[in-house]
């Protein structure tokens, strides 16, 4: 059983990815993005990133300003934020000190990656649709967020 | 191997060719032994699918063993009982002109040969520039399923183009065989689409022929392309987009579902809507006239003075 992520994890992830908290919670339900990120990227970095985020929230900063501040924060907070965004979008992550060693931890991480929603499609190899769906235009982007 | 080890026919390889032959022979009461170098899928394609999903480079070979896909120089294919060429190798293989240029210095080819079970030689003019799979079911595990018939001219290459040879058989003589192959594979297509090509290709179907299943509908991008092509000409001919016959189900048929559009036919159909030769192999084996031994590599054929192949050597890891 994976550890229940703090709500700040979803709030920050929503800020960084542009997807709703609900969509991210749904993805986390099927693939442990929170715990596995720590395992692969290196433990402690997520906690540090979340504490920086919490400090901005406590200070009453506007969400867009928080996002900008974090992505301009420099190493290691900025790097962690960018690796987290890539993990959410692509389902793949590398250890901080071994960036070539990209890993897709499970089929569910691949399938829940946000890139599929962003391109309004299903993951290659995991279709939830019916015969012939491809003959019609995809649903509007808003339906995927 | 039990009591009966007498076989009338031994087939090397359980791909579509081997499996179909075994099935047809078995239906006539012939006892068949199939020797297949690769393994069998033992868990209903689930682990192949997971391997595909979690691979960071998704190539035609990706889901299947042996799981060596890269350029790891430490890897020695000679250590594999049944290695096979990798997708990356097909890109790296030198082109024809390079091939001629390097004829005198075969080092590169020797290096490639070491990585491939195929016999690419320095005298080969056209190396086999594709991949294949070593498993019960063979390369249809990762084929696309496009199921085109040959045209009349394919049988008359020499007299039409001055290339290759003319075959001693004609397309019309193969009409029944094509129909049986399309039935075995389960091909979805509209014969009207294909007949539209007759002015260019000649007739390919007897009167009244229908494919086993209706065609797969065109995608949004196909439709857009078809529209864009309308009114354009190439070489004095009107351009038109037609669907190719597909070896994947457009409806539930023989226990297999309709294509769900997973868009991963190459390298794996997770729901087996796309044909692969494990199906024909099962049909062959269900006659009880066919025995398949997997992970059995045939390494030699002895041919006696009369040209009879009368023995083979076996490597069974
Ligand atoms: C990416 C890709 C896409 C393709 N798409 C299409 C398509 O859309 N339409 C089409 O018509 N064709 C397509 N093809 C080609 C088609 O898949 C192959 O031509 C066909 O599957 C070959 O069938 P086969 O039975 O002759 O050989 P294979 O399926 O390769 O089977 C040979 C079997 O023999 C075994 N074997 C080999 N050597 C030994 C040995 N020494 N001892 C014991 N066993 C041995 C192997 O393990 C293998 O299982 C595609 C091929 C590729 C690579
Ligand atoms: S379900 Fe997917 S993989 Fe299977 S035939 Fe259809 S498109 Fe290909």
Neighbours of A144 (CB within 10 A): 16
Q: Is B258 on the interface with A (CB under 8 A)?
A: yes
Q: Which residues of B162-181 are buried (b: 16+ CB within 10 A; e: fewer)?
A: eeeeeeeeebeebbeebbeb
- B190's torsion region: left (phi>0), alpha (psi -120 to 50) or beta? beta
Q: What's the total number of domains in chain B?
A: 1
Inside any domain, residue B239: yes
Residue in B280, B256, B264, B268 with CA at minimum distance from that of residue B185:
B280
Q: Which residues contact A107 (CB under 8 A, 6 or more apart)?
A: A126, B49, B50, B53, B54
Inside any domain, residue B54: no
Inside any domain, residue B202: yes
The alpha carbon of B248 and the centre of ligand 1 are apart by a number of angstroms equal to 17
pLDDT for B99 equals 55
Cβ-based burial of B313 (10 A; exposed 0-12, middle 13-18, buried ≥19): exposed
pLDDT for A128 equals 83
Considering only the beta carbons, identify the residue of A102, A109, A125 that sits closest to B262: A125
List the strands of the sheet with B290-293, edge to edge. B9-12, B32-35, B290-293
What element of type H or E holds A93?
none
CA angle B244, B246, B249 (to 5 degrees): 145
ipTM: 0.92
Q: Is B81 on the interface with A (CB under 8 A)?
A: no
pLDDT for B200 equals 86
**Residue B151 sits in which domain range?**
146-247
Q: Is B70 on the interface with A (CB under 8 A)?
A: no
Residue in B222, B94, B161 with CA at minimum distance from that of residue A132:
B222
What part of A 27-46 touches B (C-beta under 8 Å)? Answer: none
Question: Which pTM does this prediction carry?
Answer: 0.88
Instruction: Give me the residues of chain A with pLDDT under 50, please.
Output: none
pLDDT for A29 equals 96
Inside any domain, residue B49: no
Instruction: Give me the residues of chain B with pLDDT under 50, please.
Output: 1-2, 73, 119, 125, 317
pLDDT, tens digit (0-9, with 9 covering 90-100), for B195-213: 988 988 999 999 999 999 9
Q: Domain locations in chain A?
A: 7-143
pLDDT, tens digit (0-9, with 9 covering 90-100), for B222-270: 999 999 999 999 988 888 899 999 999 999 999 999 999 988 999 999 9
pLDDT for A19 equals 96
Considering only the beta carbons, identify the residue of A107, A109, A137 that sits closest to B220: A137
């Amino acid at each position: 059983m994976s550890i229940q992520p703090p709500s700040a994890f979803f709030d920050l992830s929503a800020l960084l990815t542009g997807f709703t908290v609900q969509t991210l919670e749904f993805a986390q339900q099927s693939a442990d993005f929170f715990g596995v990120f720590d395992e692969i990227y290196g433990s402690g970095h997520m906690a540090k990133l979340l504490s920086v985020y919490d400090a901005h929230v406590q200070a009453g900063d506007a969400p867009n300003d928080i996002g900008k501040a974090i992505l301009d924060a420099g190493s290691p907070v900025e790097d962690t934020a960018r690796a987290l965004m890539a993990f959410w979008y692509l389902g793949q992550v590398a250890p901080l000190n071994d960036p070539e060693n990209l890993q897709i931890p499970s089929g569910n991480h691949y399938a829940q990656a946000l890139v599929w929603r962003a391109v309004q499609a299903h993951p290659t190899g995991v279709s939830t649709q019916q015969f012939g769906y491809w003959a019609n235009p995809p649903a509007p982007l808003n339906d995927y967020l | 191997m039990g009591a009966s080890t007498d076989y009338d026919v031994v087939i090397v390889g359980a791909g579509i060719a081997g499996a179909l032959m075994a099935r047809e022979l078995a239906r006539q009461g012939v006892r068949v032994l199939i020797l297949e170098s690769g393994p069998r899928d033992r868990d209903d394609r689930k682990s192949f699918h997971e391997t595909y999903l979690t691979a960071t480079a998704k190539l035609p070979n990706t889901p299947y063993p042996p799981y060596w896909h890269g350029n790891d120089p430490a890897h020695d294919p000679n250590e594999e009982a049944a290695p096979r060429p990798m997708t990356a190798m097909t890109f790296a293989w030198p082109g024809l002109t390079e091939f001629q240029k390097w004829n005198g210095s075969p080092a590169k080819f020797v290096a490639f040969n070491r990585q491939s079970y195929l016999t690419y030689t320095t005298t080969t003019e056209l190396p086999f520039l594709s991949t294949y799979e070593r498993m019960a079911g063979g390369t249809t595990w990762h084929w696309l399923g496009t199921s085109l018939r040959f045209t009349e001219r394919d049988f008359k290459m020499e007299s039409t183009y001055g290339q290759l040879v003319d075959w001693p058989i004609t397309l019309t003589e193969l009409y029944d065989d094509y129909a049986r192959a399309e039935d075995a594979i389960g091909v979805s297509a509209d014969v009207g689409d294909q007949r539209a090509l007759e002015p260019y290709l000649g007739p390919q179907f007897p009167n009244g022929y229908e494919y086993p299943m209706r065609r797969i509908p065109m995608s949004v991008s196909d439709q857009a392309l078809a529209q864009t092509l309308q009114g354009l000409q190439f070489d004095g001919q009107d351009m038109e987009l037609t669907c190719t016959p597909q070896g994947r189900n457009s409806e539930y048929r023989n226990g297999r579902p309709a294509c769900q559009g997973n868009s991963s036919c190459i390298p794996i159909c997770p729901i087996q809507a796309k044909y692969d030769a494990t199906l024909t192999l099962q049909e062959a084996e269900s006659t009880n006239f066919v025995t398949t031994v997997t992970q059995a590599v045939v390494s030699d054929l002895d041919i006696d003075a009369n040209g009879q192949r009368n023995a083979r050597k076996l490597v069974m890891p």
